[in-house]
Amino acid sequence: MKKVYIETYGCRMNLCDSEIILGILSGHGYGYTGVLADADCVILNGCSVREIGHTKVFERIAELEKTLASHVILIIAGCVSTQLDDSFFAAYPRVQLVIHSTAYKHIFEAIGALARNQSTHLIVTGDNNDEIYDRQLPLRLLEDNVTAAVTIMKGCDFYCSYCIEPYTRGGRTNRSYEGIMAEIADIRDKGYREITLFGHIVDLWEGEHDGGPKNFAQLLSDIAEACPEQRIKFISSHPLTFTDQMADVMARHKNIMRVAHLPVQSGSNEVLRRMNRKYTAAQFVERIYAIKEIVPDINIVTDIMVGFPGEKEKDFEATLKLLDTIRLTDINVFKFSMRKGTPTHKKYSDDVPPYVKEERRRKVYSLVEKIRNEAARNLVGTTQRVVAESRYKESRWWSGRDMCHRTIYFVPKQGMAIGEQCDIVVRGVEDGKLYGELCL
Ligand code: SF4
């Protein structure tokens, strides 16, 4: 049996794509291997959203050029591939196949053509930019039956000025209701504990069923009802599109996790305008309060980008003020990195010095850490339903996630398995980490 090895860079969307590629190849008799030396094909599924992800893929190609056996076919996939043309092969001749994310259904034929020496190098582009692999079941890389991700839509029409996604992934394409529900049933029947619905802005998903329209809130409700034993979460949302109807569905279904990802990026209206985010800081705050009114225990996760071109000290102060107002405890902080091909690249220069970006990143972290520690202390004494996720070598502690996606550390009971659900009483907080005790 031929074997394929795959490395995935970047976001969860790329991991979903890797699982789709493996699903397609396994349908043609390929097996998956986690050992590079056993592979007949090596795929680097690369992300181009951040400069660092892009660079990592090229560094990895350079390493593999020196070490891969000559019979192995080296393939570049993912959104990074859409930026490559024939001149790429002159610089990296060891790569034989570049395949766009809309063309994975042709990957088996392309590998065959290369193996039969019909071509030495190939670029395969999709025949349909809206390709979303509606009926293709993935081969899941996570074998522990804890979480499974389902792509429900791809692409984005928001055109934030710093983001390359609308150019590499195209506009929004929705997967069909039937395609999603078929995959959901497969995951449920295989006994996965948690399901993540995935897309650039899941709130905007639209479909049809039984001759009538369906929106994302209705889809979410149908999935929660179809999978009463699973925990459901979704990522990502947008401050302009997260509806009250979605929050109502969350409040109604106890198996929908109390977590939502709503990136704000900045607290400065001027920076938000230049980012083309289409909302103001006040509108974001209003939305957060409205959602919390309906789902009081929700954990809203946000992203902050520091050092966007032209970000002045007063802009950054506005971001700190916003964070202090909304007091979210789960924040991803990114330092701005310029992506070629974006409107920001055409209009602005990367004028905030690296040391200023780093200082601002640290300031956001220390504020959030303070807020998180305060919030964590309020959880001491409460009981949380946790799914065990990880065990650590040479330590008696395991970690799991509660319904708000917070990590809690605990000592398992004899014979406990990863993926098992249990109740944990939070006993203490150390360095912002929650420690608890299993309820027996
Ligand atoms: S909402 Fe903005 S940042 Fe997010 S994928 Fe769309 S364009 Fe990119």
CA 367 to chain centre: 25
Residue-by-residue DSSP string for 165-224: HHHHT-S-EEPPHHHHHHHHHHHHHTT-SEEEEE-TTGGG-EEEETTEEEEHHHHHHHHH
Distance 45 CA to ligand 1 centre (A): 20
Is residue 375 a contact partner of residue 361, using CB atoms and an 8 Å limit? no
CA distance 279 to 237: 14
Backbone angles phi, psi at 296, to 5 degrees: -60, -30
Q: How big is the CA angle at 264 (ends 217 and 402), to the nearest 5 degrees?
A: 60
- Is residue 25 included in any domain, yes or no? yes
Atom of ligand 1 lying closest to residue 200 CA: 5
- Is residue 134 included in any domain, yes or no? no
Domain boundary residue among 62, 90, 124? 124
Residue 166 near ligand 1, beta carbon < 6 Å:
yes
Looking at the structure, tell me whether residues 403 and 332 fall in a common domain.
no
CA distance 200 to 282: 23
Looking at the structure, tell me whether residues 86 and 39 fall in a common domain.
yes
- Is residue 84 included in any domain, yes or no? yes
Atom of ligand 1 lying closest to residue 164 CA: 8
pLDDT of residue 14: 84
**Which band of pLDDT confidence, cut at 50, 70 and 90, is reported for residue 323?**
very high
Looking at the structure, tell me whether residues 358 and 298 fall in a common domain.
yes
- Is residue 209 included in any domain, yes or no? yes
Closest C-alpha among 34, 25, 35 to residue 2: 25
**Which band of pLDDT confidence, cut at 50, 70 and 90, is reported for residue 85?**
confident
Distance 183 CA to ligand 1 centre (A): 26
pLDDT in tens, 182-219: 999 999 999 999 999 999 999 999 999 999 999 999 99
- Is residue 46 included in any domain, yes or no? yes
pLDDT of residue 350: 97
- Is residue 332 included in any domain, yes or no? yes
- Is residue 198 included in any domain, yes or no? yes
CA distance 131 to 105: 10
The predicted model gives 252-273 an average pLDDT of: 98
Percent of the chain with pLDDT over 70: 99
C-alpha count within 13 angstroms, C-beta hemisphere, residue 357: 18
User: Encoding tokens for residue 52?
Assistant: 């660092």
Global pTM value: 0.90
CA 309 to chain centre: 25
Query: Which residue has a Cα nearest atom 8 of ligand 1?
Result: 163
Distance 186 CA to ligand 1 centre (A): 30
Looking at the structure, tell me whether residues 297 and 223 fall in a common domain.
yes
Looking at the structure, tell me whether residues 334 and 272 fall in a common domain.
yes
Pairing label, strands 231-235, 194-198: parallel
pLDDT of residue 173: 92
- The preferred substitution site among 48, 158, 161, 272 for testing ligand 1, maximizing ligand atoms within 8 Å of CB, is 158
Q: CB neighbours (10 Å) of residue 352?
A: 20
- Is residue 105 included in any domain, yes or no? yes
Domain boundary residue among 377, 400, 422? 377
Residue 192 near ligand 1, beta carbon < 6 Å:
no
Atom of ligand 1 lying closest to residue 276 CA: 2
Residues ≥6 apart with Cβ < 8 Å to 424? 383, 384, 386, 400, 402, 408, 410, 436, 437, 438, 439
C-alpha count within 13 angstroms, C-beta hemisphere, residue 360: 26
**Which band of pLDDT confidence, cut at 50, 70 and 90, is reported for residue 86?**
confident
pLDDT of residue 139: 87
Sign of CA dihedral 110, 111, 116, 117: positive
Looking at the structure, tell me whether residues 279 and 314 fall in a common domain.
yes
Looking at the structure, tell me whether residues 359 and 399 fall in a common domain.
no
**CATH number of the structural domain spanning residue 107:** 3.40.50.12160
Distance 107 CA to ligand 1 centre (A): 28
Greatest alpha-carbon span in the chain? 67
How far CA 285 is from CA of 28, 53, 166, 240, 266, in Å, comes to 50, 31, 26, 11, 12
Residue 272 near ligand 1, beta carbon < 6 Å:
no
- Boundaries of domain holding 429: 380-438
**Which band of pLDDT confidence, cut at 50, 70 and 90, is reported for residue 13?**
confident
CA distance 36 to 165: 30
**CATH number of the structural domain spanning residue 320:** 3.80.30.20
**Which band of pLDDT confidence, cut at 50, 70 and 90, is reported for residue 400?**
very high
Looking at the structure, tell me whether residues 69 and 180 fall in a common domain.
no
Answer yes or no: is pLDDT of 15 > 90: no
Residues ≥6 apart with Cβ < 8 Å to 114? 73, 96, 97, 120, 122
Looking at the structure, tell me whether residues 89 and 15 fall in a common domain.
yes
Average pLDDT score, the chain? 93
CA distance 93 to 62: 10
Looking at the structure, tell me whether residues 406 and 356 fall in a common domain.
no
Q: CB neighbours (10 Å) of residue 404?
A: 17
pLDDT of residue 342: 93
Total domains in the fold of the chain: 3
**Which band of pLDDT confidence, cut at 50, 70 and 90, is reported for residue 346?**
very high
Closest C-alpha among 300, 427, 282, 313 to residue 368: 300
The predicted model gives 102-111 an average pLDDT of: 94
The predicted model gives 115-139 an average pLDDT of: 86
Distance 380 CA to ligand 1 centre (A): 37
Question: Tokens 């070490």 — which residue?
Answer: 67
Residue 156 near ligand 1, beta carbon < 6 Å:
yes
Looking at the structure, tell me whether residues 278 and 393 fall in a common domain.
no
Domain boundary residue among 57, 92, 124? 124
CA distance 155 to 85: 22
Looking at the structure, tell me whether residues 97 and 151 fall in a common domain.
no
Q: CB neighbours (10 Å) of residue 371?
A: 18
Alpha helices in 31-106 (DSSP H): 51-67, 87-91
pLDDT of residue 105: 92
Query: Which residue has a Cα nearest atom 1 of ligand 1?
Result: 158
Answer yes or no: is pLDDT of 143 > 60: no
